[in-house]
Amino acid sequence: MGENPAKNHYAQLNQGEENEMEIFGYKTQGCRKALCIAGYILSCGALLLLFYWKPEWDVWANCIRCSLEEADIVLLRTTDEFRIYSRKTVTWISVSALIKSRLDYPGTAEEDSVFSKAIMKPSLQVKSIQVQRIRYVWNIYAKQFQKVGALEDHHTCSAIHAKFGSGLTCNERNVRKVICGPNTIDVPVIPVWKLLIKEVLNPFYVFQLFSVCLWFAEDYMEYATAIIIMSLLSIFLTVYDLRQQSVKLHRLVESHNNITVTVCRNKEGDSCFQELESHHLVPGDMLVLKEGKTLLPCDAILISGQCIVNESMLTGESIPVTKTHLPQADNFKPWRMHCAEDYKKHVLFCGTEVIQTKADDTGVVKAVVLRTGFNTAKGDLVRSILYPKPMNFKLYRDALRFLMCLIAFAAIGMIYTVCVFALNGEEAGEVVKKSLDVITIAVPPALPAALTTGIIYTQRRLKKKGIFCISPQRINMCGQLNLICFDKTGTLTEDGLDLWGLLPCERDCFQDIHSFPADHSLPWGPVFRAMAVCHSLIVWEGKIQGDPLDVKMFEATNWVIDDSSGHKIEGQGSTHATVVRPGPKASSAPVEGVAILHQFPFSSALQRMSVIAQEIGGEQQVFTKGAPEMVAMLCRAETVPLNFESKLLLYTAQGFRVIGLACKSLQAGKQSTDLTREEVESDLTFLGLLIMENRLKRETKPVLEELSAARIRSVMVTGDNIQTAVTVAKNAGMISATNRVILVEANKIPGSFSASITWKPLEENKTEDYRGLAKAMGLEPRSPRVFTSAAPVQDDSPPTTERRIRLALASGQYHFAMSGKSYQIVAQHFRHLLPKLLLNGTVFARMSPGQKSSLVEEFQKLDYFVGMCGDGANDCGALKVAHAGISLSEQEASVASPFTSRTPSIACVPELIREGRAALVTSFCMFKYMALYSTIQYLGVLLLYWQLNAFGNYQFLFQDLAITTVIGVTMSFTGAYPKLVPYRPPSQLISPPLLLSVVLNILFSLSLQVFGFVVVQEQPWYSKTDIYSACLSVNNHMENSSSISSLGLHGMRDGAHGQTDNGYKSYENTTVWLLSTINCLIVALVFSKGRPFRQPIYTN
């Protein structure tokens, strides 16, 4: 090749994505493989087992480095802190059967696609690997592995319409199908034997197998049998649990794998429709959506017509969502960049349900298949369950280190045992058995089972309280939580909104407020029309369905939605419009009804929605509603009242949710579908403010007070208005009445790469010079060019406010509040300020789902243990990345959340923290107890080995089974202490207090056993050879010492060979065993301490 293999040996897979990995190329070498096979045989499979645990060692031993292009084996390594390796074999896909001549070669839709760039000539083969259920193929030109199963991102809007608008040819589809594989989210139910083998090959069970074999060799049958029974029970319970999860996941996805769909085929320039099974779909296929309910088997871009979709599977909210077709924009921007954050409004997601379709002039609703299989939104959700993000918890890392210390401890004991027994001329076989026995004594085989038992009991207690857990390992993490992020709507406040009032505006002046419910109905006018048509409601199963805000607003008009199949509107071609008409209770209106011709759905990024409506027989009008600040910006300045900001502040400061309304008339003769959103949403006339009341849930304030008393920070992360959010935070007790709120506003400076930041005390609404504030916080600007203040510098300004801010900062009685936009700019331009802002940030408003996830990760970087509590609507990402994500929604979307509460209340948060703290303390105590019990036994055995003595089988059995196993099982019965104390349990096993506790106990045990060992030898009745000497009187003992001594010695030696108990009877043995048993009981009692995290021991 002439290239350096090392140069192309490494690349990155999924760069910039959540599942980013490093990929290395290797080639299998025959002689290395032969040596490894010899090693497997000679080691009796031990080397193979080691390679199973360490796949990277397997690759390094069997293969040599090469470029990725030549590789037949690839080694993958995650880029996170865990650096987990996995091994994948390169496979070859042949397309020669499909491409018999040049004419069969992929057509126009394929020219710049990865499909044509992956086919190697002349072999007509494609090189591929499969990683976490996603297929990647080798791009010959880019010299890298690329994901297939998704339409490339580089296509423009017009290119999607042109290339895929009439469907793929049969040949193009066949080539894509072979390369991409079937469109299925296939999660087969894992056979029991596979689960068993995987569980049994766990290092812990392998060590147990070694221990059991050794015990059988030493005739220690009883405990070996007990351990086998316990291990089998543990394995079967785990396998049963895994099998149940596998069956549940299989059922969750199987319904979407076999759906009959209609596709459009391109046959010699003509389009024809064809019905086929959904697993035959490929990216680029043209899907035709028919009327009636349909489950979507893939992700698709809507290119004609309109759809109403139930996305509860993704969002957790059963609110119908309107999808509009992709515009035919003629520019060079990729379609996703052109649509910006709004691109999801054109995408139909896999697993969601199409409730209603509305065709346009073409008469059909068409969509281009965007992603198939595990690349889809549903596939991504399933993969997040199959391949969860590994946890970085100090307890588990420290536990491994501690076990390593115990193994080192055991190695010292082994050397000591070999020396003692070898020097006394014992048989080699006996020396080996005794020395190996030391390992099984020093490293407790029952430790992992005991730790798992504690977690299982906690899981059961949580289940009784209506909290379900799909990731039991995270329960211990809940004990460390010191910051909880709460969503607002549906989490802290009630789900529904009540319409409180309407503040209409006429001739740039606000009129008298119209309260709801009112004696007199709202008069007919532009505001009434806006309330009647500016929504995305539909009639579904006989009920009006949609956003709760839209439902309340529409119900206030007493109008009804005409749910007939559609209405042909004059001058609008074959448009199927939704018509709203006056209901039986409605006040008289001069119109028969109003038709909604076109919708621009609500967008989180744009913070607004718009509709084009037409009175039957009247003119077309645009109605817009959304965040008041955003709506006011789109209106003509002369129509916005001068006191707009003060009025808005008045209502948001009281915790109301405020919506702005606006409208304008459209020129006659223009087709509504031809207008862009920018054209429609400009030069509007401001109509007024709609005021909605959002009440706090009854449990919110007591729960937040309890968390605050326990010194657990509460932070609000919401998509709502910042002023409303601050007011709710104050009412809920997140922000004390005496504390100040400082609004942080960051803006990009137009025409430059720099940005500005301003600080504003929210109560006074006056901009402050940031410099005094920055100095007070120690946030001096690092780059004057970038760190700019939007406020003018006034050296002679009265320093009163600045002094107040300084005082607030000095006392720590202040909270920062910022919007999602400001957070994004601070994260980009003022990175050095972000940690200090987050340390006192309490309210984060107008946050998008992506910004919520980012915020949680930023808090984690500051060493916070972060919990996220949300209703699942826009919080899925944040719920997944938090240390403990608690979903208050039982929808399918929350399946990826570690915890789900049956009751939609934040009362589950302190409950989870309480149980987490108790579980964590129990885990620590169990670990310390198990380590000390094995050390106590280890010291006793080594002490007796000095005399070539040892504990008998029944002595071991009593300590191992009657004491330790019973304590291991019952210690976890102790419940959580009902009060949350203002400090957390320790998170590190290897920390001075805990290590001191263990070391002092070891020293106490050692001194006690040595003391007993020595003191018993000092007793007047002690005899090294006569175990009955203490039973005889002193005189008889003196007279008959010689004869009894010889008899005792002879009897003991004879008995030593014939007895089933392999211990030696002696005073030292009995003394050391009794002291070590008492010591084990004392340690168990000490480590069963109750308060402040667990209930007292007598409650167990």
Cα(1062)–Cα(1058) distance, integer angstroms: 9
* C-alpha dihedral sign at 960, 966, 969, 974: negative
What amino acid occupies position 808?
Answer: A
The residues near 974 (Cβ < 8 Å, ≥ 6 apart) are 918, 922, 1088, 1090, 1094, 1095, 1097, 1099, 1100
Burial class (CB within 10 angstroms; exposed 0-12, middle 13-18, buried 19+) of 783: exposed
DSSP 636: -
- What are the structure tokens assigned to 491, written together? 């989490």
Distances in Å between the alpha carbon of 344 and those of 132, 334, 605? 25, 14, 11
Neighbours of 389 (CB within 10 A): 14
Helix axes of 908-945 and 428-442: crossing angle, nearest 10 degrees: 150
What amino acid occupies position 156?
Answer: T
- What are the structure tokens assigned to 614, written together? 């037409």
Catalytic residue, candidates 487, 550, 875, 960: 487
Q: Which residues share a beta bridge with 300? A: 348, 369
DSSP secondary structure letters along 832-876: TTHHHHHHTEEEEES--HHHHHHHHHHHHHTT--EEEEE-SSS-H
To 5 degrees, how large is the angle CA 1082–CA 1083–CA 1084?
Answer: 90
Cα(558)–Cα(532) distance, integer angstroms: 9
Is there a contact between 1050 and 1044 (Cβ–Cβ < 8 Å)? no
Cα(411)–Cα(430) distance, integer angstroms: 17
Query: Kind of pairing, strands 841-845 and 21-28?
Result: unpaired
Cα(400)–Cα(997) distance, integer angstroms: 19
- What are the structure tokens assigned to 372, written together? 């198939």
Nearest CA-CA partner of 203 in 54, 57, 85: 54
Is there a contact between 347 and 370 (Cβ–Cβ < 8 Å)? yes
Q: Which residues share a beta bridge with 714? A: 484
- What are the structure tokens assigned to 879, written together? 């719920």
* Distance spanning both ends of the chain, measured CA to CA: 72
- What are the structure tokens assigned to 464, written together? 């009784």
The residues near 396 (Cβ < 8 Å, ≥ 6 apart) are 473
Cα(138)–Cα(115) distance, integer angstroms: 10
Describe the chain by its helix, strand, coil percentages, rounded to 5: 45, 20, 35
Is there a contact between 742 and 726 (Cβ–Cβ < 8 Å)? no
Neighbours of 981 (CB within 10 A): 14
Alpha-carbon torsion, ordered 324, 326, 328, 334, to 10 deg: 150
Q: Does the active-site annotation cover 498?
A: no
Is there a contact between 172 and 284 (Cβ–Cβ < 8 Å)? yes
Nearest CA-CA partner of 684 in 649, 644, 647, 638: 638
DSSP 964: I
Cα(1098)–Cα(1100) distance, integer angstroms: 5
State residue 650 phi and psi, 5-degree precision.
Answer: -60, -45
- Going across the sheet that includes 286-289, the strands are 270-277, 260-267, 286-289, 365-371, 299-304, 347-348
Residue entry with tokens 């050391």: 1072
Q: Which residues share a beta bridge with 274? A: 263
Residues involved in catalysis: 487
